[in-house]
Structures are given as C-alpha cells and as structure tokens.
Amino acid sequence: MDLENLKQAGLKITVPRLKILHILHSGCKRHFTVDEIYQELIKQKASVGLATVYRVLAQFEACNLVSRVQLYNDQATFEAGQDRDHHDHMICIKCGKIVEFCDDIIEERQEKIAKKYGFKLKKHHMVLFCKCQNGCKNKEK
C-alpha cells in the first residue's frame, strides 16, 4: 500500500518516505507529532534526520497523503489522510486522549454558517477540548 500511495502521488520511492508512511499507517496510533515520528525512526535505527522528516511530511501534506491538525499545545499533529473520511476531534485536556467523530448535524450547521456570511465551506477542522467524564484512563500529560 505504501508504494502505491507514493506512486499515485507522483513521489519517488525512497527509504525515508517509506519508513515515515509505514509509521503513519502502523495502526498503533493515529496522530503523530514530528518528534514522535522522528523518535520512532531512531528506535528503528533509521538514518533519517529531523529536517528530512519535516520535508517529507510537507511533501506528503501537499499530495494529501497526510493531514496536518493543530490539536493541542500549538504543536502540529499528522495523520494518514488520503483514504480517510472527514472527521473532527475531541481531546481530553487532562490526559490527552483523542477521539475522532463526525456529526452530520454539526457539518450541516457549519455549511449554513459559512453561507450566511457569504462563504462556501471547502475545508475545516474542529477540535473540542474536554475532560474525560469517568476519570482519565490514560496517564496524565
């Protein structure tokens, strides 16, 4: 799948690109900061520099292979994006748990708001900052 994604995007197949795509599609996690991707590459003993990680992610974003989302702490978070449906995020401000959701009523309302102000909505992301209702199961940040 990774090779196919790169070919469809018109990008040359390189080891750094393959390794970063593999991390993004690994399934262990859905949202990664640049540093988390870089640390995972270090664990894999991959000789990929931090500047390369930034450059590859920018290329992937331009080709819609990843989506950049500002989730918290003004830190960009990346998620595999080519074959994903639109969704928004809820984040626990205490433990950092991230929940993805989509609500048709909210989506329709956003369209109406944009239209009311003379806009045609093309793209958006919404992040709701919350607290886990039944206590945080994840470790605190």
Q: Is 123 exposed, middle or buried (0-12, 13-18, 19+ CB in 10 A)?
A: exposed
Could you give the residue range(s) of every CATH 1.10.10.10 domain in the chain? 2-80
Global pTM value: 0.70
Of 91, 120, 118, 85, the residue nearest 104 (C-alpha): 85
- Better-predicted residue by pLDDT, 43 or 75: 43
CATH topology of domain 88-130: Dna Ligase; domain 1 (3.30.1490)
Average model confidence (pLDDT) for the chain? 85
Sheet holding 88-92, edge to edge: 98-101, 88-92, 127-130
Could you give the residue range(s) of every CATH 3.30.1490.190 domain in the chain? 88-130
CATH topology of domain 2-80: Arc Repressor Mutant, subunit A (1.10.10)
Q: What is the pLDDT of residue 80?
A: 80
Q: What is the pLDDT of residue 72?
A: 66
Highest mean pLDDT among 56-60, 75-79, 83-87, 98-102: 56-60
Q: How confident is the model at residue 40 (pLDDT cuts 50, 70, 90)?
A: very high
